Structure 1
Amino acid sequence: MKLFYIQSTVDGVNKVKNYLDDHYVGISWSVLGDLEQVSMDCVAEQLERRYELIGGELSEAVETVHTFVNLIEDGDYVVMKDEEWMYIGDVGDYYYDDSIGTSDDLICHRRGVTWLGRVPLEEINEHMQILLSESKFIAQFMLPVTQAQLDQALRGTEGAAGTALTETTELAAIDKLTGNLLARVEQTTINTALEILERALQSENEQIRVHAAAAILQYAKS
């Protein structure tokens, strides 16, 4: 498991709200098309031809594409920041979404993200401070991920310090429980999972109630 920092401003536009609301992160150069099976030599050629990038700018762009498309993997962690917060997410697979066009103001190269929470910038440790000061568009945390102390940071902001664990995390937990149920794990684990799902049915959040109900129904049908 790896950890990456990604800039939240793309072509001068802050994307934090979009990324949080729509559960993804991305990079620009949308007109390049789907890059999943494209060689970096081809990417370099297209960046030079379509965006007139040369020298250091070209090398940096190719590195960004390579990192985003090839080095980041499903299950890695990603962080981004705004003026006050660092946001932490569990990143998914690369995909290309050109459903609303490929103009330069759109983000078509994407990775889905399950946002786990947020931490005030002043409360992150010195290793993460260094990572978040990187000038690269995407930077990898080169120490063991445990050195980032993300779990401790999220627990530390729960409650009075702000909403650290979002409802997205609750939904992801429900999905995980559903998977456990369908895998026919030990009966005691199934009973525990069902109790958690039943409590989720009482949530004030309608989306969580619906998600829990669907999970229970799916198990009942299996």
Structure 2
Amino acid sequence: MNLFHIQSTLRGINWTASFLENNFIGIAWPGIGDLEHEPPEEWKHQLIQRYGIGEMELTQVLETLHMFVYIMQDGDYVLVDDAEWTYVGDLGDYFYDDSNGTGEESLCHRRGVTWLGRIPLMELNDKVQALRNQHSIIAKFEHPISQAQLDPWLSVNSETTKEDSHSSVRVDEDTVKEALDVLKEALHSEEADLRVRAAAAILQYAKS
């Protein structure tokens, strides 16, 4: 698993709120097509043809596109900032979305994100601060992800802890058997709705 930081202000537009609300991250350079279905040479051709950018900028853009499409992977972590917080997300797959057009204000190159938690900027350690301070649109954390020390802030961990604590409370076997007997009797009820609910409860128990 890798960790990345992505800039959320692109072409003068701050996308942080949209990223968080709509569960995605994205990068600019719309209108060059679905990058998964085109070779990098075609990326270069489209960028020159559509945007007329110079060789130095072209190299940087191609590196960003390659990072976003191929280096980032489903299950990696990503950080996005606002003025007070860094938000930690679990990345999904790359997809291309031009449903809102391909104008320069659009972000067509996207990855889904499940947001896991947020961390006050002042609480980030030096290694993560250095990651955030890189000027590239996407920066990769060049240390084992454990050294980012993100886990204490992630809500998924607290939810797991809650589930673990609840799972320690067990119903004794005799009570479970009595409850199943009641449900079995309800299967033969004259009320169709009761029969359906009893069947669903038994099937749910069988899956657990």
TM-score by length of 1: 0.70
Other structure's SS at 1:29 match: coil
Match of 2:137 in 1: 137
Quick one: distance in 2 between partners of 1:20 and 1:146?
A: 24
Other structure's SS at 2:78 match: strand
More divergent stretch after superposition (88-97 vs 45-54): 45-54
> Within 5 Å, which residues of 2 pair with 1:117-136?
117-136=117-136
Quick one: distance in 2 between partners of 1:39 and 1:77?
A: 26
Match of 2:4 in 1: 4
Deviations 1:35-82 (A, max 9, x none): 112221211121111111112211110000000011100000000111
1:53 aligns with 2:53: yes
Which letter does structure 1 place at the counterpart of 2:106? Answer: L
Match of 1:68 in 2: 68
Shift >6 Å, 4+ stretches: none
Quick one: distance in 2 between partners of 1:116 and 1:14?
A: 21
Quick one: distance in 2 between partners of 1:42 and 1:142?
A: 30
CA RMSD of aligned residues (A): 2.6
Quick one: distance in 2 between partners of 1:136 and 1:100?
A: 26
1:39 aligns with 2:39: yes
Match of 2:174 in 1: none
Deviations 1:97-123 (A, max 9, x none): 112222111111100000011111111
Other structure's SS at 2:50 match: helix
1:112 aligns with 2:123: no
More divergent stretch after superposition (15-24 vs 42-51): 42-51
Quick one: distance in 1 between partners of 2:50 and 2:65?
A: 15
> Within 5 Å, which residues of 2 pair with 1:169-180?
none
Deviations 1:161-190 (A, max 9, x none): xxxx3xxx59x97xxx9xxxxxxxxxxx9x
Match of 2:15 in 1: 15
Match of 1:101 in 2: 101
Deviations 1:112-149 (A, max 9, x none): 00001111111100000000000000010011111111
Count matched residues: 171
Quick one: distance in 1 between partners of 2:53 and 2:88?
A: 32
Quick one: distance in 2 between partners of 1:41 and 1:146?
A: 36
1:87 aligns with 2:87: yes
1:147 aligns with 2:111: no
Which letter does structure 2 place at the counterpart of 1:106? Answer: S
User: Kindly, what percent of the aligned residue pairs are identical?
Assistant: 44
